[in-house]
Amino acid sequence: MEPTRDCPLFGGAFSSILPTEAIDVSDLRPVPDNQEVFCHPICDQSLIIELLELQSHVRGEAAARYHFEDVGGVQGARALHVESVQPLNLENLALKGCCQEAWVLSGKQQIAKENQQDVTVHQALLRLPQYQTDLLITFNEPPLDNRSFLGPANPPWSLSNFEQLVTSLTLHDPNIFGSQ
């Protein structure tokens, strides 16, 4: 696994461990206030942390599938395929004190770009009902067409990077959720 850094998120209300070379997309273009988006410096991989309204009408595995399908719809995916949905052990999460339910989903989304890519998507859903929030962490892994440009200085991110982001995500200021 490549070098990492502890990174403040959402104005310091959260923090998490990210790959050192991760580029904060908000330095390049506008990003919605409820998102933190990071991209790999060479390949098209991205890591997205989103604070979303709690979808209390879906529970368990169905909640993970709901968010996967919702993101696919927003991105204009032409096809969606869920490969696996597994519960996350809350004891492994830095957010274990406020997370009541956690799921990890892996699947593929056919994204309508010029070459219609099948993007591998890994999502972790951390449910924080006391804050009326679903925290969604997404790792987008398009095919590595430019693998020849990736050297030892910029290896592609791995599932280990995603897992470290998910497990290290820490809440520092619950006021980010407003008055409860």
Under 8 Å between Cβ of 124 and 106: no
Mean pLDDT to the nearest integer, 97-120: 84
* Per-residue pLDDT, 148: 47
Q: Given the DSSP bridges, would you call strands 133-141 and 117-128 parallel, antiparallel or unpaired?
A: antiparallel
Residue 48, beta-bridge partner list: 37, 138
* Per-residue pLDDT, 77: 74
CA 86 to centroid of chain Cα atoms: 16
Residue predicted with more confidence, 146 or 41: 41
pLDDT digits (tens, 9 = 90+) for 120-163: 999 999 999 999 999 999 999 887 764 545 566 678 899 999 99
Q: Given the DSSP bridges, would you call strands 101-111 and 35-39 parallel, antiparallel or unpaired?
A: unpaired
Name which of 58, 51, 76 is nearest 133 in CA terms.
51
Mean pLDDT of the residues in the chain: 89
Using the predicted structure, report yes or no on whether residue 180 has a pLDDT greater than 80. Answer: no
Using a pLDDT cut of 70, give the percent of the chain over it: 88
Residue predicted with more confidence, 148 or 37: 37
- HSE at residue 45, side-chain half, CA atoms within 13 A, is 24
Residue 128, beta-bridge partner list: 133
Using the predicted structure, report yes or no on whether residue 114 has a pLDDT greater than 60. Answer: no
Q: What's the rounded Cα separation, in Å, for the pair 105 and 173? A: 27
